[in-house]
């Protein structure tokens, strides 16, 4: 039974996609199995269910909005199956991801393709071209997609992706000339660290302007406006609080043929859905603080440098979240970056053999985990 945890950002209640410490503690303590070898990456299915349920609840206030799950962010089968069960569309960047989605029951009309490698051999609902060249290729094909999309690069956003506004006339010309192009889509993707002085809403309005030009100058209707992802939970909550209502109101007014507004959160949905269980190998007393070495680290948590992780310790009376302090948790490979936390307070009685759960490990920590220092090349030579 879902028990939504809401956050009061201002007047409105919005979902807490990071999930609370208490929810994570409960999920972790229910799942920990002392028989398991560590490192053990554990899927917190209840947390995943709540996040997708809350996202669908919150988006239901905006009828044209559709949730697309960015498969690459966490492609584990349980996540893809969960999304399909809940009617969430699949957003893919490779034919392999399209095939995985199909295996979970997705039809071609439920798949969005939005990657820099052109898709050649799979039918999808919409493919967003990452370049004028890709758009021309898509426009040359009949029956490959229902909607021909283009990813735009907003002004001032440093990025290798998308068509620049100065190239839009080329896309317009191709769209106008091609009989295969019946409907159009426009997408953008902008991470908070790239906004600079700008607000997300202003960036969305700019791209909406490109969609309006594309529609009026090509004579073909724009039916999909895609707002991308790129947000950790807190930033995604801000979008719900401040921005989606604005887009929901303005976009259909400016684009009279608009059917759907897509959001493609990967991290927003999946960051809290996995925890990594580790064992303490050694406890060191230093002059200024204590340090522990554990049996996993950067290879299991490649986002360590960019993403803060909550850490829980299993004490005699249950699982305790480690508060901030001056102690450190080190991983066990030989890179300077392999530090799980440099700012925690370790429990007085922590000892070798104790178990920790590193939370917030469900996005690129999971999908980009690597095998360095484990004794065999990954991928192995064939």
Ligand X SMILES: Cc1ncc(COP(=O)(O)O)c(C=O)c1O
Binding flag, residue 267, ligand X (CB under 6 A): yes
* C-alpha–C-alpha distance, residues 198 and 190, integer Å: 11
* C-alpha–C-alpha distance, residues 359 and 273, integer Å: 8
Residue nearer to ligand X on the CB measure, 236 or 319: 236
**Contact set for ligand X, span 195-234 (CB under 6 A):** 228-231
Binding flag, residue 271, ligand X (CB under 6 A): no
Residue nearer to ligand X on the CB measure, 354 or 365: 365
Q: How would you classify residue 360: left for phi > 0, otherwise alpha for psi between -120 and 50, otherwise beta?
A: left
- Residue range at the interface with ligand X (CB under 6 A); choices 139-147, 202-210, 259-267, 290-298: 259-267
| Residues near 257 by beta carbon (within 8 Å), at least 6 away in sequence | 183, 215, 221, 222, 223
Binding flag, residue 268, ligand X (CB under 6 A): yes
CA dist 257 to 4, 118, 216, Å? 35, 26, 11
Binding flag, residue 264, ligand X (CB under 6 A): yes
* C-alpha–C-alpha distance, residues 52 and 74, integer Å: 13
Q: Return the exposure string of 217-251: e unless at least 16 CB atoms fall within 10 Å of the residue's CB, then b.
A: ebebbbbbbbbbbbbbbebbbebbbbbbeebbeeb
Task: Out of 265, 299, 331, 362, point to the residue binding ligand X (CB under 6 A).
Answer: 265
Nearest CA to 272 among 4, 14, 19?
A: 19
Binding flag, residue 51, ligand X (CB under 6 A): no
- Residue range at the interface with ligand X (CB under 6 A); choices 11-19, 262-270, 280-288, 335-343: 262-270
- Residue range at the interface with ligand X (CB under 6 A); choices 162-170, 204-212, 265-273, 339-347: 265-273
Residue nearer to ligand X on the CB measure, 114 or 131: 114
Please count the residues of this chain forming the interface with ligand X, following the rule CB under 6 A: 14
Binding flag, residue 70, ligand X (CB under 6 A): yes
* CB of 317 vs ligand X, minimal distance in Å: 37
Contact 206, 190 (CB under 8 A): no
**H-only helix segments in the chain:** 21-31, 45-59, 77-85, 95-103, 132-139, 168-177, 200-218, 233-238, 244-254, 267-270, 364-367
Binding flag, residue 302, ligand X (CB under 6 A): no
- Residue range at the interface with ligand X (CB under 6 A); choices 43-51, 260-268, 305-313, 331-339: 260-268
Task: Out of 75, 149, 154, 266, point to the residue binding ligand X (CB under 6 A).
Answer: 266
Binding flag, residue 189, ligand X (CB under 6 A): yes
Task: Out of 16, 27, 51, 73, point to the residue binding ligand X (CB under 6 A).
Answer: 73
* CB of 187 vs ligand X, minimal distance in Å: 6
* C-alpha–C-alpha distance, residues 266 and 74, integer Å: 7
Half-sphere exposure (Cβ direction) of 125: Cα atoms closer than 13 Å: 18
Residues that bind ligand X (CB under 6 A): 70, 73, 91, 114, 189, 228-231, 264-268
């Amino acid at each position: 039974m879902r028990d939504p945890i809401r956050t009061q950002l201002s007047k409105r209640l919005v979902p807490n996609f990071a999930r609370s410490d208490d929810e994570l503690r409960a999920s972790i303590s229910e799942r920990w199995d002392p028989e398991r070898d560590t490192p053990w990456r554990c899927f917190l299915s209840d947390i995943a269910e709540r996040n997708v349920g809350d996202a669908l609840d919150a988006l239901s206030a905006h009828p044209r909005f559709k949730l697309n799950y960015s498969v690459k962010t966490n492609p584990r089968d349980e996540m893809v199956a969960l999304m399909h069960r809940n009617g969430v569309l699949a957003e893919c960047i490779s034919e392999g991801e399209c095939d995985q989605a199909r295996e979970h029951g997705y039809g071609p009309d439920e798949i969005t393709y939005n990657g820099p490698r052109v898709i050649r051999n799979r039918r999808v609902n919409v493919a967003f071209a990452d370049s004028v060249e890709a758009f021309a290729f898509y426009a040359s094909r009949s029956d490959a997609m229902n909607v021909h999309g283009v990813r735009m690069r907003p002004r001032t956003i440093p990025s290798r992706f998308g068509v620049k506004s100065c190239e839009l006339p080329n896309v317009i010309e191709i769209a106008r000339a091609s009989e295969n192009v019946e409907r159009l889509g426009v997408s953008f993707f902008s991470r908070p660290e790239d906004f600079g002085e700008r607000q997300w809403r202003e960036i969305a309005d700019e791209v909406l302007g490109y969609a309006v030009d594309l529609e009026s100058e090509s004579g073909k209707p724009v039916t999909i406006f895609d707002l991308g992802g790129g947000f950790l939970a807190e930033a995604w909550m801000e979008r719900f609080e401040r921005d989606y209502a604005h887009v929901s109101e303005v976009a259909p007014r400016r684009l009279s043929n608009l059917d759907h507004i897509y959001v493609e959160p990967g991290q927003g949905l999946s960051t809290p859905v996995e925890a990594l269980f580790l064992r303490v190998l050694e406890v060191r007393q230093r002059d200024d603080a204590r340090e522990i070495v554990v049996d996993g680290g950067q290879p299991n948590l490649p986002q360590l440098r960019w993403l803060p992780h909550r850490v829980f310790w299993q004490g005699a009376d249950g699982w305790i979240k480690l508060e901030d302090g001056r102690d450190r948790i080190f991983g066990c490979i030989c890179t300077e970056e392999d530090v799980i936390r440099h700012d925690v307070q370790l429990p007085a009685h922590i000892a070798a053999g104790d178990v920790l759960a590193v939370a917030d490990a469900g996005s690129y920590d999971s999908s980009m985990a690597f095998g360095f220092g484990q004794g065999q090349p990954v991928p192995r030579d064939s």
